[in-house]
Amino acid sequence: MGPFGGGGHRAPYAFQRLPLRAKWDADAVRDDVLEYARRALGEGGILAVDETGFLKKAEKSLGVARQYTGTAGKVENAQVGVFLSYATPRGHALVDRELYLPQPWTEDAARREAGGIPDEVGFEANPALAQGMLQRALGAGLKLAWVVGDEVYGRDTTLRRFLEDWHQPYVLAVASNTHVWRGFYQVKPGDMVDEVPPEAWVASFRGRGHQGPTPLRLGTHATQPAPGPVAMAAISAKPRGRQGGLLHRPCPTQCLAGVDGAGGR
């Protein structure tokens, strides 16, 4: 048998000791990681919230269930975790995590006992898990330029209001059928593309997935007086075409390019 994991070990036990046998406080380590990221990467960065799935064959792994996961692009047997990633021009790091527990887990006493789920832990949807993590980061005094997230988080009004109460700027995507108020009327951010002045558009890109970055153009159009959210329109070169988002911090469109350009969303 050759060396294990390229680390010169012929067995995995040295690596497995920490998660399986050692006694340690995972939440205390999480707090240390956030502080380390703050010192190493600097403040004023972007905090991105997103979920990811971990495909599983077993049925006893905590939180595992048949549920949609973007990892597979369909409903599969999987665990889903919600993560916070902090990014600055110096680099990026995962700084927090929460495991999503579907209701069949939180409402089943036998499963709760077998999984060691604390009594105070109940069902929480992904946006609520994200809000708890953001509360920790902001409560720790981390100074952020932006919080960014996809439609899962953009459609949650409680999460948006939480960030607004913290006076925390955000850029959150919203679904194509989302309506925002303009005076006494409701409009869709994606339908406001034609109203953005030509000089207000900037070129940027989104992500660096397995097919490379997605070119897009960004523009904003105020839908209500400050300090409320401002509609953001995006035109993507990919099939999704026109997309919308909500921006909480009126600013020149050029500052939005830095959000996507930093890989924050």
pLDDT, residue 180, reads: 72
Question: Is 192 within a domain?
Answer: yes
pLDDT, residue 197, reads: 66
Question: pLDDT (tens digit, 9 = 90+) per residue, 16-64?
Answer: 777 778 888 989 999 999 999 999 999 999 999 999 999 998 888 999 9
Interatomic CA distance for residues 121 and 103, integer angstroms = 11
Among 142, 177, 196, the domain boundary falls at 142
Question: pLDDT (tens digit, 9 = 90+) per residue, 56-92?
Answer: 988 889 999 999 998 898 999 999 999 999 999 999 9
Interatomic CA distance for residues 256 and 11, integer angstroms = 48
Same domain, 131 and 156: no
Same domain, 247 and 155: yes
Q: Which residue would you say has higher pLDDT here, 166 or 176?
A: 166
Same domain, 112 and 60: yes
Among 83, 109, 142, the domain boundary falls at 142
CB-based contact 109:49 (threshold 8 Å): no
Among 127, 142, 157, the domain boundary falls at 142
Question: Is 55 within a domain?
Answer: yes
User: Is residue 240 predicted with pLDDT exceeding 60?
Assistant: no
pLDDT, residue 203, reads: 58
pLDDT, residue 144, reads: 95
Question: Is 173 within a domain?
Answer: yes
Same domain, 81 and 102: yes
Question: pLDDT (tens digit, 9 = 90+) per residue, 198-227?
Answer: 666 665 555 554 445 544 455 555 555 445
Same domain, 138 and 151: no
Q: In terms of Cα–Cα distance, which of 131, 41, 40 is closest to 87?
A: 41
Question: Is 237 within a domain?
Answer: yes
The dihedral through the CA atoms of 34, 37, 43, 48 has a sign that is: negative
Q: In terms of Cα–Cα distance, which of 196, 195, 138 is closest to 167?
A: 138
Question: Is 15 within a domain?
Answer: no
pLDDT, residue 1, reads: 41
Same domain, 189 and 246: yes
Same domain, 217 and 153: yes
Same domain, 138 and 45: yes
Interatomic CA distance for residues 149 and 49, integer angstroms = 5
Same domain, 132 and 187: no
- pTM for the complete prediction? 0.79
Rg (CA), the chain: 21
| H or E segment to which residue 44 belongs | none
pLDDT, residue 210, reads: 44
Instruction: Count the domains in the chain.
Output: 2
Interatomic CA distance for residues 239 and 241, integer angstroms = 5
Same domain, 83 and 155: no
Question: pLDDT (tens digit, 9 = 90+) per residue, 145-170?
Answer: 999 999 999 989 999 999 999 999 88
pLDDT, residue 58, reads: 84
Same domain, 248 and 164: yes
User: Is residue 229 predicted with pLDDT exceeding 70?
Assistant: no
What is the domain extent for residue 83?
22-142
Same domain, 210 and 137: no
Which residue do the tokens 């509360």 mark? 135
Question: Is 8 within a domain?
Answer: no
CB-based contact 127:50 (threshold 8 Å): no
Q: In terms of Cα–Cα distance, which of 49, 31, 72 is closest to 128?
A: 49
User: Is residue 252 predicted with pLDDT exceeding 70?
Assistant: no
Which residue do the tokens 């902001």 mark? 138
CB-based contact 232:216 (threshold 8 Å): no
Lowest mean pLDDT of 95-104, 133-142, 256-265, name the range: 256-265
